[in-house]
């Protein structure tokens, strides 16, 4: 089956994860695609095929004879789509030969504009798949699933010598829970790749250090006519805290390795208020400085308005995988060689976010991230190049064809 056929089938399944969910997986609908993938792996004749009760799909393509002493490789992608925008009832549009101009989205009477997405100039002549403008597409990360499935099928039906190839499709990556129940005792890879990036020649092995931070503010309410020297307005204190953080250190003003404070939610009144932030930085020391800045702000507000007026809670999310990958650079070099062999220039861009691979790397599985050929994730302008997906299949086959000695 061709990679685009698989992809168009996979995006028909509604698999949006639930950012407020506490179950594992966060949404039962993620099983709809998981069951399809489980059966597809069985039909391919893979071994160790398993759909876990926590919605992880595993499979193994055993080493070819004489290659059992090679390191085992893992290929990983996630099944869920982001809760940022609707992933239900996706209606893909196919652009057979893209002309390099703005793309009309018939369902919403809107356009994917080249001025907004300059990389489109490099996709002229490609076959593209877009949304109709009413949903996201699901290339993040159903493109990765389709590419892995197609590569594994082609490898199995070829004479390419290879070591053990483990496959895993995970739930809940988009809500930061992808590795929560990942079974590394079952998935016995020595190294792995998530296939979950953009440009098909990308091999990413740096990501943000990340934490969430929440300010809870207690106020004192009294009739405004009698409020002098008594009222403490929690809503105003929340505004004051927000304004004390650097105005240009936000996602809208930063790029590459620059970190930020991102106010994701604010609510409140006179009696109580809450500010929710995510904090990001590639540099570990700068990241800790950001967290310390928030801690100092908590202290200053309590000194000004009274003890226990402001309570700060910081929750660490994930770390920069670079510190792990630096000791296992063979996984990067292998991917770069495969990208070169596919006729592309390898690029290693810092990920302005996190990946399952970051947490898996710290769990003992070196796991950088490969591109998929998809762009503008998490919204109605999402699109993917069929030509690029085909090239990713080639890259995966090339990686597998160069196994590493144990």
- Confidence at residue 29, expressed as pLDDT on a 0 to 100 scale: 97
Structural contact between residues 182 and 168, judged by C-beta atoms closer than 8 angstroms = yes
> Is 53 in the same domain as 186?
yes
Cα gap 65→165, rounded to integer Å: 13
Rounded Cα–Cα distance for residues 357 and 208 (Å):
12
Same domain, 109 and 79: yes
Task: Please indicate, yes or no, whether residues 254 and 342 belong to a single structural domain of this protein.
Answer: no
127 and 171 share one domain: yes
Do 324 and 311 share a structural domain?
Answer: no
Same domain, 242 and 302: yes
Q: How far is CA 143 from CA 1, 116, 146, in A?
A: 14, 22, 5
Is residue 80 annotated as part of the catalytic site, yes or no?
Answer: yes
Give bridge partners of residue 195 from the DSSP assignment: 370
Rounded to 5°, angle at Cα 58 from 54 and 63: 160
Instruction: Please tell me the total count of domains within the chain.
Output: 2
pTM over the 0.85 mark: yes
Q: What is the pLDDT of residue 176?
A: 84
Quick one: pLDDT at residue 20?
Answer: 87
Q: Give domain status of residue 406, yes or no.
A: no
CATH no. for residue 220? 3.30.70.360
Handedness of CA 82, 85, 91, 94 (dihedral sign): negative
Residue 269 falls in the annotated catalytic set: no
Q: Which of the listed residues 280, 296, 318 is the one where a domain comes to its end?
A: 318
pLDDT at 354: 77
Per-residue pLDDT at 401:
95
User: 305 lies in which domain range?
Assistant: 209-318
Decide which of 283, 298, 318 is a domain's last residue: 318
- What CATH number is given to the structural domain containing 369? 3.40.630.10
The pLDDT of residue 406: 86
pLDDT score for 128: 98
Tens-level pLDDT at each residue, the chain (406 residues): 999 999 999 999 999 999 889 899 999 999 999 999 999 999 999 999 999 999 999 999 999 999 999 999 999 999 999 998 999 999 999 999 999 999 999 999 999 999 999 999 999 999 999 999 999 999 999 999 999 999 999 999 999 999 999 999 999 999 888 899 999 999 999 999 999 999 999 999 999 999 999 999 999 999 999 999 999 999 999 999 999 999 999 999 999 999 999 999 999 999 999 999 999 999 999 999 999 999 999 999 999 999 999 999 999 988 999 999 999 999 999 999 999 999 999 999 888 887 889 999 999 999 999 999 999 999 999 999 999 999 999 999 999 999 999 8
The two structure tokens encoding residue 398: 């090339």
The residue from 4, 164, 173, 202 that is catalytic is 173
Q: Which of 4, 30, 38, 80 is catalytic?
A: 80
Q: Quick one: 160 and 49 in the same domain?
A: yes
Does residue 405 lie within any of the structural domains?
Answer: no
Residue 220's contacts (CB-CB under 8 Å, 6 or more residues apart) are 230, 231, 232, 271
User: Which of the listed residues 286, 318, 350 is the one where a domain comes to its end?
Assistant: 318
């Amino acid at each position: 089956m061709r990679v685009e056929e698989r992809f168009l089938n996979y995006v028909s399944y509604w698999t949006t994860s639930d950012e407020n969910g506490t179950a594992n997986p966060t949404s039962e609908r993620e099983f709809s695609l998981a069951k399809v993938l489980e059966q597809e792996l069985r039909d391919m004749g893979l071994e160790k095929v398993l759909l876990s009760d926590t919605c992880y799909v595993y499979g193994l393509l055993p080493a070819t004879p004489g290659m059992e002493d090679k390191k085992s490789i893992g290929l990983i992608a996630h099944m869920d789509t982001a809760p940022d925008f609707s992933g239900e009832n996706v209606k893909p549009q196919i652009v057979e030969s893209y002309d390099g101009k703005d793309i009309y989205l018939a369902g919403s009477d809107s356009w994917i504009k080249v001025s907004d997405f300059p990389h489109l100039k490099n996709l002229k002549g490609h076959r593209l798949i877009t949304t109709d403008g009413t949903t996201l597409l699901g290339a993040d990360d159903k493109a990765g699933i389709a590419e892995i499935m197609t590569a594994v099928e082609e490898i199995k039906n070829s004479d390419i010598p290879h070591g053990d190839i483990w496959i895993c499709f995970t739930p809940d990556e988009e809500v930061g829970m992808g590795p929560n129940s990942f079974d590394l005792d079952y998935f016995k890879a020595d190294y792995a790749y998530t296939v979950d990036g953009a440009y098909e020649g990308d091999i990413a092995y740096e990501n943000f250090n990340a934490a969430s931070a929440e300010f809870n503010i207690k106020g004192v309410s009294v009739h405004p006519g009698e409020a002098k020297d008594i009222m403490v307005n929690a809503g105003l204190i929340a505004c004051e805290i927000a304004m004390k953080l650097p105005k240009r250190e936000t996602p809208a003003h930063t790029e590459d390795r620059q970190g930020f404070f991102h106010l994701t939610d604010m609510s409140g009144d006179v009696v109580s208020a809450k500010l929710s932030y995510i904090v990001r930085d590639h540099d570990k020391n700068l990241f800790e400085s950001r967290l310390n800045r928030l801690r100092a702000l908590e202290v200053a507000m309590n000194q000004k308005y009274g003890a226990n007026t402001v309570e700060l809670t910081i929750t660490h999310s994930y770390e920069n995988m670079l510190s792990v990958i630096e000791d296992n650079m063979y996984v990067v070099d292998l991917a770069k060689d495969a990208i070169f062999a596919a006729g592309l220039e390898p690029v290693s861009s810092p990920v302005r976010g996190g990946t399952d691979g970051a947490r898996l790397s710290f769990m003992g599985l070196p796991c950088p991230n490969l591109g998929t050929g998809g762009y503008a994730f998490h919204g109605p302008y999402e699109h993917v190049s069929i030509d690029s997906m085909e090239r990713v299949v080639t890259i995966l086959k090339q990686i597998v064809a160069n196994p590493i000695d144990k």
